[in-house]
Amino acid sequence: MSESKDSGAVDHVDRLRRQWARELPDLDTEPMTILGRAFRLSNLVRPSIEATFAGFGLDRGEFDVIATLRRSGPPYRLMPTEMYASLMISSGGLTHRLDRLEKAGLIRREKSPRDGRSVLVALTEAGVALAEEAFRTDMASESRFLQALDAKERETLAGLLRKLIIGIENELAGGEEQNSG
């Protein structure tokens, strides 16, 4: 098992791998060097991200809804089916979030001009402003966590993570196709 090449520093994952190497010396724990660290990274930054959104009176799921609407561009309206597919949640989970956001005055439900039976979810002016302010604050907060890497390292890491995610998504999509037929 190799340790970090940067100044001999040892992190949580290195310690876990050492323990597993002692207990199961025949097992290759190399996947932990990437996936274990990604999981650890997510767990380390999640409280800060959640605190940022809480400072705006939102939970992470509520922010995801208003951010999805905001980044859709003017007029900041989407059909619920477009939203829950993008957010990867159930329609029931979306409905619960929409109810809370509507009560807070951040979204409104409108009849679709194309089909009176359909509903569109639209950001209110307050929702547009809050989504933007919360996102700007979140990005400033998250950028602090990346200061250990220089610009080139961040670019390299982002590219490698993109490649890994695309590979995993393709693997999972291929597995779904094989399982469905």
Q: Tens digit of pLDDT for each residue in 25-45?
A: 999 999 999 999 999 999 999
The residues that bridge with 111 in the sheet, in sequence order, are 119
Fold of the CATH domain 55-167? Arc Repressor Mutant, subunit A (1.10.10)
Sequence ranges of the domains in the chain? 9-48, 55-167
The mean pLDDT value for 102-114 works out to 92
Q: Which pLDDT score, from 0 to 100, does residue 63 have?
A: 96
Contact assessment for residue 65 and residue 87, using Cβ atoms and an 8 Å cutoff? yes
Kindly tell me if the per-residue pLDDT of 3 is higher than 70. Answer: no
Which H or E element spans position 127?
A: helix 125-145
**Exposed e or buried b per residue across 24-57, where buried means at least 16 C-beta atoms within 10 angstroms of its C-beta:** eeeeebeebeeebeeeeeeeeeeeebeebbeebe
Residue pLDDT, tens place only, 42-100: 999 999 999 999 999 999 999 999 999 999 999 999 998 889 878 878 778 888 999 99
